Chains A and B, each alone.
Chain A
Amino acid sequence: MPEARARSERLVAVCGKGGTGKTAFTALLSRELVASGRAGNLLLIDADPAMGLPIALGIEVERTMGQVREDIIETARRGKREEKVRLVDMLDYMALEALTERDDFALLAMGRTETLGCYCPVNDLLRGTIETLSRSFDTILIDGEAGLEQINRQVMRGVDTLMIVSDATSRGIQTAGLIRKMVRDDGVIECERLALVFNRVQGNEEILERAAGEIGLEVAGWIPHDDAIAYHDLLGKPLCELPLDSPGRVAVREIAARHVLA
């Protein structure tokens, strides 16, 4: 058993406006990290309640951290002190139960939360549990929502690299600008590097690069429009089945090499 480290070597989160292809990008990035042979033990965290990442990877998730959260709240509501004390011992068991393991990576899906309410202490508890679990991994890749609060509240307080995915629309770029502000000005999440990835690009690189500069973001990579990705998405086919030389995979491979593994 590798002794638990203080933290993992690489911690990358992906965010951006809805519909820009974050999940497809995360799925492809995970495949390229595995293929590189340099990512070590890889943990994927699907922090988007829509839970598209398992579908994109072609795997089934039986239990989510959202369900663990429900169990914790339910136990707290039952009100027996003894049961609450036992929760401390049970958390790591429940987290491992929620971990879907494959030969080359593991996936933790946050899932939806049915119970209304903030329950900050529960979030703290879960975040601590996830942070402990994640210390056994060398690389952690988080697929997030547009907003960063959920990652901060329920998954991790900070990441090394935040990759913002935008499509070639002004709304996508505006959202990227807002995310940059949330990180740099409002400190919503601790983050060392910000990188903007343009997805489904069809020859407007110059305009997009200028727009990225205006919102203070460096472009980390361009993923061209790829019919094969659209076709796989349409049929719900796992993106790992994409040919290695598909334009999308080639572009993501380059981003992985330059911005994650470098």
Chain B
Amino acid sequence: MATFDPYVRKVADWVERRVCRGGLIREFDAEDPGGELLAAIPESAGSAGGGGIVLQRDTFVELGSPRAGSCAFPLCTDDPSLVRDGRITLIGPGIQASPGASLPFGQVLLAAGPALTDADFAELEQAQYLAGRIEGYMIRSTPGRMWSRVSRGAAKAGFDFELLGRALIGSFKSRLPGIEATQVLFVTSSREDLSELQEIAEQVRTIGRHVASETWRARGIDLECSLGVDCKSCDDKPACDDIRDVVRIRKQRVDA
């Protein structure tokens, strides 16, 4: 499976260029990439369910709001040499250094394993958001965009990109056991940096759609087919049909 390999390399090249340009860049290595990384998160910022939101007034830092811009995508390859396992890279300011800020946000997740196939890409797309999993870290997403807020409580408990990266690595590995290596890139530096990444994201998304379409076609389902609103499942359909008849009769009388 080498479908996404050129894009894994493009991201690596982009990071290298960005490193050459200088600026605020930090790298962390998850010490135990194969272990229970979610457990590394402080208890008060631990796992939580539900669809609650972090309100603006309770927000320590906002990432990737529609105004600030965002970009999120995963990449997978069957060549583990392309991915540095456990590496978390942050380009731009971190969470603890940005109280009250609304930062642009890019998140790229790279996963590698000899057993990974194109079909795993859709699973990775779902896994990349960690929605509702971390207390105090709210995520709202649309395809390719990710808007998140870190609560004051979570920030106080020490939540930062290193912890988020660890959680993502742990989540990826637990969701897809075929993954041998995972790397995470966070970008909060500028909208310009983000737009360069967005070009890669758009290409990946186009391929991802094609991959999903082919995967489902192989399972006998055509994603391109039309799926209209199903009136047959509505209890009020007989009443609506009667009213439509009345409308039709009235129209006939008016037109006569």
What is A's interface to B at a CB cutoff of 8 Å? 1-4, 41, 76, 79-82, 84, 86, 89-90, 92-94, 96-97, 101-104, 106, 118-121, 132-133, 135-136
How far, in angstroms, from A136 to B212 measured CA to CA in the complex? 35
Partner of A136, one of B52, B209, B225, B226: B52
Q: What are 23 A-B pairs at a CB distance below 8 A? A: A1-B53, A1-B54, A1-B136, A1-B138, A1-B154, A3-B48, A41-B55, A79-B226, A80-B223, A81-B222, A89-B143, A90-B143, A93-B142, A93-B145, A94-B142, A96-B53, A101-B57, A102-B56, A106-B55, A119-B229, A133-B51, A135-B51, A136-B52
Nearest opposing residue in chain A for B54, CB measure: A1
Nearest CB in chain A: distance from B143 CB, A? 5
- B85 interface hit (Cβ, 8 Å): no
Q: Is the CB of B52 within 8 A of A135?
A: yes
Beyond A3-B48, A121-B229, A132-B51, list 12 extra A-B contacts (CB 8 Å): A1-B48, A1-B54, A1-B154, A2-B52, A81-B223, A86-B143, A90-B142, A93-B141, A93-B147, A96-B53, A102-B56, A103-B57
Q: Can you list, as one digit per residue, whether each of B209-243 has a CB less than 8 Å from chain A (1) or not (0)?
A: 10011000000001111111100001010001000
How far, in angstroms, from A136 to B240 measured CA to CA in the complex? 36
Nearest opposing residue in chain A for B230, CB measure: A121
Nearest opposing residue in chain A for B145, CB measure: A93
Q: Is the CB of A96 within 8 A of B50?
A: no
How far, in angstroms, from A136 to B226 measured CA to CA in the complex? 36
Q: Using a CB-CB cutoff of 8 Å, which residues 132-146 of chain B contact chain A? A: 135-138, 140-143, 145
- B22 interface hit (Cβ, 8 Å): no
Q: Is the CB of B52 within 8 A of A3?
A: yes
- B49 interface hit (Cβ, 8 Å): yes
Nearest CB in chain A: distance from B102 CB, A? 12
Question: Contacts of B177 on A, CB cut-off 8 Å?
Answer: none
- B151 interface hit (Cβ, 8 Å): yes
Q: Is the CB of A136 within 8 A of B224?
A: no
Instruction: Give the number of chain B interface residues (Cβ < 8 Å).
Output: 37
Q: Is the CB of A136 within 8 A of B141?
A: no
How far, in angstroms, from A119 to B230 measured CA to CA in the complex? 11
Q: Is the CB of A97 within 8 A of B66?
A: yes
How far, in angstroms, from A90 to B236 measured CA to CA in the complex? 28
Nearest opposing residue in chain A for B129, CB measure: A89
How far, in angstroms, from A2 to B48 measured CA to CA in the complex? 9
Question: Contacts of A4 on B, CB cut-off 8 Å?
Answer: 50-52
Question: Contacts of A133 on B, CB cut-off 8 Å?
Answer: 51, 53
Nearest CB in chain A: distance from B198 CB, A? 17
Q: Is the CB of B49 within 8 A of A3?
A: yes
Partner of B135, one of A1, A118, A136: A1
How far, in angstroms, from A89 to B139 measured CA to CA in the complex? 11
Q: Is the CB of B234 within 8 A of A120?
A: yes
Nearest opposing residue in chain B for A3, CB measure: B50
Nearest CB in chain B: distance from A69 CB, A? 13
Question: Contacts of A76 on B, CB cut-off 8 Å?
Answer: 228-229
Q: Is the CB of B51 within 8 A of A92?
A: yes
Q: Can you list, as one digit per residue, whether each of B48-70 has a CB less than 8 Å from chain A (1) or not (0)?
A: 11111111110000000010000
Question: Contacts of B137 on A, CB cut-off 8 Å?
Answer: 1
How far, in angstroms, from A247 to B49 measured CA to CA in the complex? 46
How far, in angstroms, from A109 to B54 measured CA to CA in the complex? 19
Counting from the closest, the 3 A-B pairs by CB-CB distance are A4-B50, A93-B140, A101-B56
Q: Is the CB of A1 within 8 A of B223?
A: no
Question: Contacts of B52 on A, CB cut-off 8 Å?
Answer: 1-4, 135-136
Question: Contacts of A79 on B, CB cut-off 8 Å?
Answer: 226-228
Nearest CB in chain B: distance from A93 CB, A? 4
Question: Contacts of B240 on A, CB cut-off 8 Å?
Answer: 118
Nearest CB in chain A: distance from B105 CB, A? 13
Q: Is the CB of B138 within 8 A of A82?
A: no
Q: Is the CB of A82 within 8 A of B223?
A: yes
How far, in angstroms, from A90 to B140 measured CA to CA in the complex? 8
Question: Contacts of B145 on A, CB cut-off 8 Å?
Answer: 93
Nearest opposing residue in chain B for A77, CB measure: B228
Nearest CB in chain B: distance from A116 CB, A? 13
How far, in angstroms, from A104 to B53 measured CA to CA in the complex? 15
Q: Which one of B51, B57, B227 has the greatest number of beta carbons of chain A within 10 Å?
A: B51
Q: Is the CB of A82 within 8 A of B229?
A: no
Partner of B53, one of A90, A94, A103, A136: A136
Question: Contacts of A106 on B, CB cut-off 8 Å?
Answer: 55-56
Q: Using a CB-CB cutoff of 8 Å, which residues 99-128 of chain B contact chain A? A: none
Question: Contacts of B49 on A, CB cut-off 8 Å?
Answer: 3
Nearest opposing residue in chain A for B59, CB measure: A101
Question: Contacts of A82 on B, CB cut-off 8 Å?
Answer: 209, 212-213, 223-224
Question: Contacts of B212 on A, CB cut-off 8 Å?
Answer: 82
